[in-house]
Chains A and B, each alone.
Chain A
Amino acid sequence: MSLEILGITVLWTFLYGYLIVASIDFGAGFFSFYCKVKKEDHLVNSIIERYLSPVWEVTNVFLVFFFVGLIGFFPSTAYYYGTALLVPGSIALVLLSLRGSFYAFAHYGVRNSMLYTGVYGLTGLFIPASLATVLTISEGGFIRETNGLVEFLSDQLLKSPYAWSVVILAIVSILFISASFLTYYADKAKDRKSTVIFHKYAIMWSLPTIFASMLVFFAIYQHNPEHFQNMLDISWLFLLSLASFLVALALLLKKKHYGWAFVMVMLQFAFAFYGYGISHLPYLLYPYITISDSINSPVMGKALVTGFIVGLCLLIPSLYLLMKMFLFDVKYVQGKEKAVQR
């Protein structure tokens, strides 16, 4: 495997990891806000909190890892995206900061205010929308380079149907991913009432994810036919994604095996996400950056890969430990764990 393929695969995998854990987090924030508006919050909040408390910081790291790794493996991305994303990137940063710090602040009583829950819930929708815009920009047409000067065409972006279809897909997806995970988590905690609520949300947001995906397909066809053609070449990945979705939906409708249902949802997104990524290659930014001309020197690449392997040897056992303690420990999940005296 060449260095550039290895690099982008690692990065894409971390971005996928972020997609899943952050979706759970963002969606959970929104649901907790929504339930508060509907005055059902007492039912679901304990479930949401018990899961999120130990892991929120870890969620953030996936994102940091992705962009630091991107600059390491493909330094030119810093130049193009850095210049283009000043405003949208800054806005996303402010939202992420508000959300991240509010989460910790919330433990000391701020949570009961409507304003707080509102900010927390709505940033959960705006952040993925603004982050997804980066993927939109990568399709080309929104960055122009003239005489070495990189310029971001924000008007084009705001007028682009493709950009909006991606935003819709992002929002719908996080709600679906989050609801299907929380259904599983609440079920595991034997919290009947919460399970019913989250199950309802999961069903509600299931079909819209497929419609939104179709919309994006259509919009890509309009916006970047070359990419669309590449997608058709590996259409089996997208069909597998659809198949995973159907299995997940069937399990959800049958109200059993919520754990497997969530695994299928993860697969649904994995197939679609990797399918999108593979067909996007070799471009990192149409038409300016490809993985082969922006890849860092082999020496640095080798150093990064070595560092990555050493890092993984530390991370995987630690992540396993974290999951074992908070995700798969039935006593903790049910809130019976003595340590969690709340």
Chain B
Amino acid sequence: MENVMYARILTSLTLGFHIIFAVLGVGIPVLISIAEWLGIRKKDPRYTQMAKRWSKGFTVTVAVGVVTGTCIGLQLSLLWPSFMKTAGEAIALPLFLETFAFFFEAIFLGVYLYTWNRFKNPYLHWAFSIPVIIGSTASAFFIMTVNAFMNAPQGFSLENGSIVAIEPLQAMFNAATPSKAGHMIFSSYATSAFVLAALAAYKLLRGNATAYYKKALQLTLSLALIFSLGTALWGDIAGKYLAKHQPEKLAAAEWHFETKGEAELIFGGVLDEETHEIKYALRLPYALSVLATNTLDGEVKGLNEVPEDLRPPLFIHYLFDGMVAIGGYMIIVPVWYFVRKKWLKKEASPWELMFIIGGAPLAMLAIELGWIFTEIGRQPWILVGYMKTTHAVTSATNVGEMLALFSLLYLFLAVVSTSILLRIYKQPVVMDKVYPSVTGGESR
């Protein structure tokens, strides 16, 4: 039992740390590419500078993303050997394809980062950002299909404990794939846009009101708005997926016990686990039915129909609500900014800037909450309906020691990467002369 707990903590620690960098790794190339394109198109060197500065920081985040990604890739086999054996049999294809996507991204990232000004036609350099975007977004997609498979396993059948009749494409394009992949990719884009918006907002708040930072803020916030809307829309798709295929997860997230139509959505509140009585909650009539079925009176399955030992823990309600609330925040803040700017012709006030800055850590928090929600919400299963988490764990001892070892590693990486990113951020924006290459220039 102890092994399971340690292994779960270590996996969640690695994923929780990796996801920060993975999200930036998927999202930031999109923003870099758009900025570089605008710079060429509008002949405005400020956008080019944005692309260059962002790529400089990006090399650091991508490095941590790569090494922690390698960690989780191997740790899955080290901590959950039985699960990975099954996964290898049924869902190996996207895992394998992900390494190709990653390979592709790595190659073109190298080319992109080291060839600023190498081509006469600036669009040629910009074009190298496209395979980076394709590679990183495809990586996210393939990994999400594997996670989706854990939630909605299909494309095989079980005979006498061994897996037969495997259909790799069916396993990959399972019921959970569209909702999971879309929601994750959009939220990565949105979070990255918010992180970059916060960087510009902070400089503006400190009185550095140059055109560079104003344009950076406007660009990043407009992208943040588009991507946040996409995230929310896809969140709705994810809700409908849950209602149809994993009703116990939705019911636990919503504290929805009785199966009924015209179901209300419960936000926040305190639950009495004995009586299932909910206090102090905000209740939105019909909203859960709408989320689950798109109709006001749609029936939503309640948790009482699920055997008690197969119910996810009920605290995931708060994780879900936290994620949704932040999602709303990520739409309202940019809308507010654009309303004031377009119709009232006002620059962002210090208050607004502070809300924008707050959006970055909140967006990251929402990513974490969403992940913890989806992972805990799948419990007690590691592969829903087929394999329980407790049966998948390694029989090796020393998991506790490895947990300590990796905690130290992540702590160290967090401290060093933060300090380096701060150093890059503090470098002044240089516009008139050619900027040093993104590798920095220590010895020459």
- Tell me whether A299 and B167 are in contact in the complex, defined as CB-CB below 8 angstroms, given that A304-B92, A339-B118 are known contacts: yes
A217 in the interface (beta carbon within 8 A) = no
- Tell me whether A79 and B84 are in contact in the complex, defined as CB-CB below 8 angstroms, given that A71-B95, A104-B63, A307-B93 are known contacts: yes
List of A residues within 8 angstroms of B97 by Cβ: 307, 311
A110 to B70, alpha carbons, bound, how many Å? 23
Q: Identify which of B66, B80, B96, B443 contacts A308 (C-beta below 8 A).
A: B96
A326 in the interface (beta carbon within 8 A) = yes
Number of A-B contacts (CB under 8 A): 253
Interface residues of A (CB under 8 A from B): 42, 45-46, 53-55, 57-58, 60-61, 63-65, 67-69, 71-76, 78-87, 89-91, 93-94, 96-98, 100-101, 103-105, 107-112, 149-152, 296-297, 299-300, 303-304, 307-308, 311, 314-315, 318-319, 321-322, 325-326, 337-342
CB distance from A57 to the nearest CB of B (A): 4
Are B424 and A108 in contact, with the CB atoms below 8 A? yes
CB distance from B395 to the nearest CB of A (A): 5
Q: Identify which of B59, B78, B398, B444 contacts A82 (C-beta below 8 A).
A: B78
Chain B interface residue count, CB cutoff 8 Å, equals 83
Are B443 and A83 in contact, with the CB atoms below 8 A? no
Are A61 and B110 in contact, with the CB atoms below 8 A? no
A75 to B91, alpha carbons, bound, how many Å? 11
A30 to B92, alpha carbons, bound, how many Å? 36
Are A93 and B70 in contact, with the CB atoms below 8 A? yes
Are B77 and A342 in contact, with the CB atoms below 8 A? no
A53 to B114, alpha carbons, bound, how many Å? 9
Q: Which 3 A-B pairs have the closest CB atoms?
A: A75-B88, A104-B63, A82-B81
B74 in the interface (beta carbon within 8 A) = yes
CB distance from B236 to the nearest CB of A (A): 32
B387 in the interface (beta carbon within 8 A) = no
Extra pairs beyond A60-B66, A97-B67, A110-B416 (18, CB < 8 Å): A57-B110, A58-B110, A61-B103, A64-B69, A69-B96, A71-B84, A71-B85, A78-B87, A79-B85, A84-B396, A87-B396, A101-B63, A104-B59, A150-B396, A297-B163, A300-B166, A318-B108, A341-B434
Are A54 and B442 in contact, with the CB atoms below 8 A? no
List of B residues within 8 angstroms of A314 by Cβ: 100, 104
B417 in the interface (beta carbon within 8 A) = yes
A218 to B111, alpha carbons, bound, how many Å? 45
List of A residues within 8 angstroms of B64 by Cβ: 101, 104
List of A residues within 8 angstroms of B440 by Cβ: 107-109, 342
Are B93 and A93 in contact, with the CB atoms below 8 A? no
Q: Identify which of A57, A64, A107 contacts B99 (C-beta below 8 A).
A: A64
A182 to B167, alpha carbons, bound, how many Å? 47
- Tell me whether A105 and B416 are in contact in the complex, defined as CB-CB below 8 angstroms, given that A54-B114, A64-B99 are known contacts: yes
Are B84 and A82 in contact, with the CB atoms below 8 A? yes
User: A314: nearest residue on chain B (CB-CB)?
Assistant: B104
List of A residues within 8 angstroms of B115 by Cβ: 325, 339
A152 to B72, alpha carbons, bound, how many Å? 21
B423 in the interface (beta carbon within 8 A) = yes
Are A54 and B96 in contact, with the CB atoms below 8 A? no
Are B82 and A79 in contact, with the CB atoms below 8 A? yes
List of B residues within 8 angstroms of A297 by Cβ: 89, 163-164, 166
CB distance from A45 to the nearest CB of B (A): 7
CB distance from B10 to the nearest CB of A (A): 9
B349 in the interface (beta carbon within 8 A) = no
A280 to B263, alpha carbons, bound, how many Å? 63
List of B residues within 8 angstroms of A78 by Cβ: 77, 81, 84-85, 87-88
User: A104: nearest residue on chain B (CB-CB)?
Assistant: B63
Are B106 and A72 in contact, with the CB atoms below 8 A? no
Are A68 and B98 in contact, with the CB atoms below 8 A? yes
A100 to B106, alpha carbons, bound, how many Å? 13
CB distance from A60 to the nearest CB of B (A): 6
- Tell me whether A82 and B443 are in contact in the complex, defined as CB-CB below 8 angstroms, given that A96-B67, A100-B63 are known contacts: no
B413 in the interface (beta carbon within 8 A) = yes
Return the CB mask of B386-416 against A: 1 if under 8 Å, else 0: 0000000011101101100110010011001
B355 in the interface (beta carbon within 8 A) = no
User: A340: nearest residue on chain B (CB-CB)?
Assistant: B437
Q: List 6 A-B contacts (CB under 8 A).
A: A71-B92, A75-B88, A82-B77, A86-B79, A101-B416, A297-B163
A303 to B73, alpha carbons, bound, how many Å? 21
A98 to B26, alpha carbons, bound, how many Å? 22
Are A55 and B84 in contact, with the CB atoms below 8 A? no
B169 in the interface (beta carbon within 8 A) = yes
Are B444 and A342 in contact, with the CB atoms below 8 A? yes
B75 in the interface (beta carbon within 8 A) = yes
Are A339 and B93 in contact, with the CB atoms below 8 A? no
Are B71 and A97 in contact, with the CB atoms below 8 A? yes
- Tell me whether A72 and B169 are in contact in the complex, defined as CB-CB below 8 angstroms, given that A94-B409, A100-B63, A342-B439 are known contacts: no
A308 to B103, alpha carbons, bound, how many Å? 12
Are A89 and B96 in contact, with the CB atoms below 8 A? no
User: B81: nearest residue on chain A (CB-CB)?
Assistant: A82
List of A residues within 8 angstroms of B92 by Cβ: 71-73, 75, 296, 300, 304
Are A315 and B89 in contact, with the CB atoms below 8 A? no
A87 to B424, alpha carbons, bound, how many Å? 36
A100 to B65, alpha carbons, bound, how many Å? 10
- Tell me whether A96 and B442 are in contact in the complex, defined as CB-CB below 8 angstroms, given that A61-B106, A83-B394, A311-B97 are known contacts: no
Are A64 and B84 in contact, with the CB atoms below 8 A? no
B436 in the interface (beta carbon within 8 A) = yes
User: B439: nearest residue on chain A (CB-CB)?
Assistant: A107
List of B residues within 8 angstroms of A104 by Cβ: 59-60, 62-64
Are B423 and A108 in contact, with the CB atoms below 8 A? yes
A53 to B63, alpha carbons, bound, how many Å? 12
Q: Identify which of A54, A93, A150 contacts B71 (C-beta below 8 A).
A: A93
List of B residues within 8 angstroms of A64 by Cβ: 69-70, 73, 99, 102
List of B residues within 8 angstroms of A152 by Cβ: 396
Q: Identify which of B74, B78, B116, B417 contacts A101 (C-beta below 8 A).
A: B417
Q: Identify which of A46, A68, A86 contacts B95 (C-beta below 8 A).
A: A68
List of A residues within 8 angstroms of B116 by Cβ: 339
Are B166 and A299 in contact, with the CB atoms below 8 A? yes
Are B405 and A94 in contact, with the CB atoms below 8 A? yes
- Tell me whether A303 and B168 are in contact in the complex, defined as CB-CB below 8 angstroms, given that A86-B399, A86-B402, A339-B117 are known contacts: yes
Are A67 and B96 in contact, with the CB atoms below 8 A? no
User: B115: nearest residue on chain A (CB-CB)?
Assistant: A339
List of A residues within 8 angstroms of B90 by Cβ: 300
List of A residues within 8 angstroms of B62 by Cβ: 57, 104
Residue among A74, A112, A152, A299 with max Cβ neighbours from chain B (10 Å): A299
Are A300 and B93 in contact, with the CB atoms below 8 A? yes
Interface residues of B in 203-234 (CB under 8 A from A): none
CB distance from A119 to the nearest CB of B (A): 11
Are B394 and A46 in contact, with the CB atoms below 8 A? no
Q: Identify which of B63, B109, B409 contacts A103 (C-beta below 8 A).
A: B63
CB distance from B386 to the nearest CB of A (A): 15
Are A86 and B398 in contact, with the CB atoms below 8 A? yes
Are A107 and B81 in contact, with the CB atoms below 8 A? no
User: A305: nearest residue on chain B (CB-CB)?
Assistant: B96
